[in-house]
Amino acid sequence: MPRGYHWLKQPYALFGEEREHMRQVIIIGSGPAGFTAAIYAARANLKPLLIASSVEVGGELMNTTEVENYPGFPDGIQGPELMAKFQEQAEKFGTEVLYDDVTSLDLNGPVKTVTLGSGAVHETRALIYATGSAYRKLGIEGEERLSGYGVSWCATCDGFFFREKTIAVVGGGDSAMEEATFLTRFADKVYVIHRKDSLRASKIMQERAFANEKIEFVWNSEVAEVLGGDSVTGVQLRDTVDGTLRDLPLDGLFIAIGNDPRTHLVHDKLELTAEGTIWVDGRTSKTSVPGVFAAGDVIDPTYRQAITAAGSGTVAALDAEHFLADFDDASVEVPAAEAAEVIVA
């Protein structure tokens, strides 16, 4: 039996199946990974409980206008509409969606405990953690207001909308250079705005950007404000050396200063990677704790796309289903007397 799974030899009843708030599967997160996991778990008759945020439901797609690269929608679809369809499908098969915030987790032992902001406590034998990641923001005037109207954090998602336009990328790392280079496929001009006079990106990424005729670097500058009424018309730049301000006309602004996986609930509970994402075993969703599975951007430091998150949610649901099947087989096979001896030991 795999290391850490010795408690599977205990009888089913000992894990509190009769408890009022015991669930077979609880899913934390309401993005593509969470809802896809819910669809698969519900179709497997696991009656999942999906805990969505009380404020931000639907993940990053809720901040996206037109989505044109999700399969099955050749004419495109609005981000919020796509997430509504995810939820509708999950609920159709029996998923219960709860709008509350998880405040703490107890992942020790076979029963995982989820405590909510309302004070309610739910227990489960299998937990799927799909909280996604958050793009780092500049925190400046106009950034939130014009999100989806010229301000973006995803070149792959939104670059197509800026054909023959003038845009800018904020950042100085590999991600910023990759985004800027990619955007030259569409835009006529791409500025790279960086607050220093040198980049922190790898040498090869720098060389690619420097060699691209469509890219122009704006050194020693930071964005002080995003300008525009209904859409982006430019940015106000602040010189980081002398503090002077100037305006730069633009049609769009891409912010590429990194992202942070939402792992605050599992620090010191699950093993993390060097990138800060949750560690999983190979191509599975199995974390360092038996019975806990992770999916979506919270395990993905590279791709961070809705379609890859959805696929990851599928893996998590299937892994959880197999885990529960093994759990049931073990609990049926071992007599209670033998299990009691295991507990005492």
Positions marked catalytic: 154, 157-158
What 61-66 contacts at long range (C-beta under 8 Å, 24+ apart), as own/partner pairs, is 61/31, 61/32, 61/306, 63/147, 63/148, 64/148, 64/154, 64/157, 64/158, 65/148, 65/149, 66/161
Spatial separation of the C-alpha atoms in residues 71 and 327, rounded to whole Å: 35
**Residue 154 is which amino acid?**
C
Do residues 28 and 131 lie in contact, with contact meaning Cβ atoms separated by under 8 Å? yes
DSSP string, 72-128: T-TT-EEHHHHHHHHHHHHHHTT-EEEE--EEEEE--SSSEEEEETTS-EEEEEEEE
- Residue 83's nearest CA partner among 309, 278, 320 is 309
The residue with tokens 């509350």 is 100
Contacts of 198 (CB under 8 A, 6+ apart): 172
Rounded to 10°, the helix 79-92/32-43 angle is: 20
The three-class DSSP label of residue 342 is helix
Spatial separation of the C-alpha atoms in residues 326 and 44, rounded to whole Å: 15
Query: Over the Cα atoms of the chain, what is R_g?
Result: 23
The three-class DSSP label of residue 171 is coil
Do residues 67 and 73 lie in contact, with contact meaning Cβ atoms separated by under 8 Å? yes
